[in-house]
Homo-oligomer: A and B are copies of this chain.
Amino acid sequence: MEAAKKYLEDMRIGDTFESREYRVDLDEIRTFAQSFDPQVFHLDEAAAAQTVFRGLAASGWHTAAITMRLLVESVPIAGGMIGVGGEISWPRPTRPGDSLHVVTRVIEIIPSQSKPDRGIVVLQGDTINQNGEICQQVTPRMLVFRRQPAEPDSNRAGAETLVGKQ
């Protein structure tokens, strides 16, 4: 059964969502790296041992892509998960055999000043391995629609971007 999809009016700071576990195997790490990040520490175990990673590590952008998969599955936003940007960091690499899950919290809710039907919700998503260690932190700014448009605001300007004036 799918969780009820949330509109801007339904979101509260502190709302928390948790994804399933996603196991990352060596083949998937190499396949992603061959396409998008063909560097030795993502491709060759013996050579990777001689680098600063001290062993084979997933591309950070692979961890980011897996995190997006888990966010899409676990954060029930009406209209979908539409990110306009955010901050990302990788405190430690994802390793072959890691099982990742994502814990996501609503940290800020910003109604648009120019578009009465939408706003931005800032999430914090921590991507955590089987040892409870954080492999990635991301704070995506998500476009979220209202169920009902807000009351008109005379200061509202023409809407030149997807998210309007903040």
Cα A117 to Cα B162 with chains together (Å): 44
Count residues of A near B (Cβ-Cβ below 8 Å). Answer: 36
Cβ of A83 and Cβ of B60 under 8 Å apart?
yes
**Stretch of A11-19, A61-69, A104-112 lying at the B interface:** A61-69
Q: Please judge, given known A-B contacts A41-B80, A51-B80, A143-B52, whether A36 and B85 are in contact too, CB under 8 Å.
A: no
Number of copies of chain A assembled together? 2
CB distance from A54 to the nearest CB of B (A): 10
The interface bits of chain A over 20-46 (1 if a CB of B lies within 8 angstroms of the residue's CB, else 0) are: 000000000000100111111100000
Partner of A85, one of B52, B62, B89: B89
Q: Does A157 contact B (CB under 8 A)?
A: no
A61 contacts which chain B residues (CB < 8 A)? Answer: 61, 64-65, 68
Q: Please judge, given known A-B contacts A51-B79, A84-B90, A90-B85, whether A72 and B38 are in contact too, CB under 8 Å.
A: yes
Cβ of B66 and Cβ of A36 under 8 Å apart?
yes
Cβ of A86 and Cβ of B83 under 8 Å apart?
no
A residues in contact (CB < 8 Å) with B: 32, 35-41, 51-52, 59-62, 64-66, 68-69, 72, 79-91, 143, 161-162
Give 19 A-B pairs besides A32-B65, A37-B72, A52-B143 with Cβ atoms closer than 8 angstroms. Answer: A36-B69, A37-B65, A37-B69, A37-B81, A38-B69, A38-B72, A39-B72, A39-B81, A52-B162, A61-B68, A65-B65, A84-B89, A85-B87, A85-B88, A85-B89, A85-B90, A86-B88, A87-B87, A91-B161
